[in-house]
Chains A and B, each alone.
Chain A
Amino acid sequence: MVVGLINANPVVYEKKERRPRNVPTSIDEYAEEPIDQQEIFDHVRDIKDPEHPYSLEELKVVTEDSIEVNDKQSYVRVTFTPTIEHCSMATVIGLCLRVKLMRSLPSRYKVDIRVAPGTHATEAAVNKQLNDKERVAAALENPNLVEMVDSCLEPTFG
């Protein structure tokens, strides 16, 4: 894409093995199955990094433990770790996470996306931008940005 990558040599980790969903304890097929950490992680793990052919999972930008979910309160918080402190792609990654969850979760869900504390030079600014829905709405009307987000999300629709 651009001349000179922001992080030319990211550390690539192994993908976690896919666990099968926990076997439901009740055999009632109409029983409510709450959305859990694993399900959220499955939604976002395959998102492609905006500048590398690796997934967010492979770059440890998101891990299962970085996801908090409370299905009763319809609340999710994803904390992601940019690969380097000055990563200008942090807002794009955050936008990808938000869009993916927006499209995957029921509309009752409230989603907060934030950078892990201490992992980004302009942490507060990135967090504020990612959680300002007016800015997110405006960004998602920008065709170039939408194209970028869509290409990052493509591997997640497997």
Chain B
Amino acid sequence: MELLEGNLKLMEIQKLEGHTDRVWSLAWNPAVDGVPGMLASCSGDKTVRIWQKGPSGTWDCSAVLEDTHTRTVRSCAWSPSGKLLATASFDGTTAIWEYLGGYFGCVATLEGHDNEVKSVSWNASGSLLATCGRDKTVWIWEIQPGNEFECVSVLQGHTQDVKMVHWHPSTELLVSVSYDNTIRVWAEDGDDDDWHCVQTISEASSGHTSTVWALSFNSAGDRMVTCSDDLTLKIWDTSCHPSETSANCYRSWQHLCTLSGYHDRTIFSVHWSREGLIASGAADDAIRFFSESKDNSVDQPSYKMLLKKEKAHHMDVNSVQWNPKEPRLLASASDDGTIKIWELSEVSSFSQARDPGKSCRRKAQVFVRSAYSVVYGARTKREKKVGEIGLSYSEPSARSHIPLISSASPVLAAAFLTTRPATLEIFPSWPMRFLQTPKVWSCLFDLVFCSRIGIKINEPKGGDGLVAVPMRLQFGVYFISSRRIHSQQEAALIQAQLKTLYLILRRVPS
């Protein structure tokens, strides 16, 4: 969590347009083997859209799932394998979609609810599906071979419509939240093999005082966050205490803390990232980020707000979802009909050098992605662009990198660098056997950068001395090859050598 200590900034990467009514809900595909990364969105326009990252790095709509639901599609969820998409609709049905090579086909329709279905969730193993709706019930469906879904239980207990259902990330516990202001926990009881409500968290047990809209677990599953129309977020301890038997531990979830005074209007969505960051989206058009505060861990855990993004959308924010693979990538959906992709990044660690008098040396790495396709085939020109180079900033202790540059987010680089008057030193890590000279360039930001950042390229040991120092700092890396590249193997070899470019930013004494 080291990276979170500095100031954070939320950068808009892209705005996805296409829906013709409010967007209610989002779901990232888990992107496991063989399934490409996808974002599904569902809307009041009765459609579901699938968004995929194209070769240029931008997110494009790759499919529109329509003509199946006859009313608002309220919620969507990918199965853990990423192969099935479940969509819940106000038309009273839940549809199951499968990617059938090139298109999505509706392979099953689950009927049973009296009216609007409001939420759908897969359990961790993908063997069970839960749905809930305005008829105050929660249904549990078992997945049978051949895309057959059998209802194994209809759970009654809520006294008003059920807004959301969500499974615990590792155990077979189901949580539902409702317009009746309560949170209910459901489990399969050993004796009669049926599902029962094992816990109800109401106002009397420090619960919410108005509609509970959403919930999310942290990755370990030992904490849960809920959000409500009462303008608060509540954190719950969902771990098993040593004194409890495992069969009992879900009966006594404890209220840990209440985050109030942040959102001004109903909080519709909350999502806990793998890294422990809580994002919330609300009817005040804002997205907020919270994390556990380490300062006063003496008795009660406390959470603090890290960042508030006002006017994240023009209208209510209905859904916020972290990307499961890239922990700093967030998608949000709004009444304004758009979806936005955001990147959360740290902005201040360079300027916050511990000893301001000394130069601040940090390493940044440049990763080469898909170099081959561009290098190979170079025939006439000597200067070839080596694919898209992503520039990431990382600290030695950090587990992840903050991407600074990609074609999808050039703005990040601008913001990153303009906040730091510095000299940029570049250390290619590869020997320059092929006379490849890095020329750092970009097209958009030279004016912004030139005046503030000096540049120096250091020749690595073992190189043959051809180093170009560009007049302008531009980003992206070109390589000049002194000869043609004849084969795929050769190109692969070059690519293998282009591993890391170390960037050192040296603070300019002010």
Contact = CB atoms under 8 A, between A and B. Distances in A.
Interface of A: 107-108, 110, 128, 131-135, 137-138, 141
Interface string B335-352: 110000000000000000
A44 B223 CA distance: 47
A124 to B, nearest CB: 10
Contact of A138 (B90, B266, B284, B314): B90
Given A107-B336, A108-B315, 20 more contacts: A110-B265, A110-B284, A128-B179, A128-B210, A131-B229, A132-B179, A132-B211, A132-B229, A133-B283, A133-B316, A134-B74, A134-B118, A134-B163, A137-B22, A137-B72, A137-B90, A138-B72, A138-B134, A141-B72, A141-B90
B283 A110 contact: yes
Contacts of B72: 137-138, 141
A105 B90 CA distance: 26
Nearest to B22: A137
A132 B179 CA distance: 9
Contacts of A110: 265, 283-284
A141 B44 CA distance: 10
Interface string B116-147: 10100000000000000010000000000000
Contacts of B335: 107
A133 B44 CA distance: 12
A107 B335 CA distance: 9
Interface in B17-41: 22
A128 B211 contact: yes
Contacts, number: 36
B83 interface: no
Nearest to A106: B314
B71 interface: yes
Residues of B contacting A: mostly: loop
Given A108-B314, A134-B163, A141 B336 contact: no
Contacts of B134: 138
8 contacts: A107-B314, A108-B314, A110-B283, A134-B118, A135-B161, A137-B44, A137-B90, A138-B72
B211 A107 contact: no
Interface residues of B, number: 24
Interface in B271-302: 283-284
Contact of B315 (A107, A128, A132): A107
B501 to A, nearest CB: 45
Contacts of B315: 107-108
Nearest to A107: B315
A120 B210 CA distance: 20
Contacts of B116: 138
B314 A141 contact: no
B139 to A, nearest CB: 18
B191 to A, nearest CB: 37
Contacts of A131: 229, 266
A85 to B, nearest CB: 23
Interface string B297-314: 000000000000000001
Contacts of A137: 22, 44, 72, 90
Contacts of A134: 74, 118, 163
B389 to A, nearest CB: 40
Contacts of A141: 71-72, 90
A106 B134 CA distance: 30
B312 to A, nearest CB: 14
Contacts of A107: 314-315, 335-336
Interface string B56-82: 000000000000000110100000000
Contacts of A132: 179, 211, 229
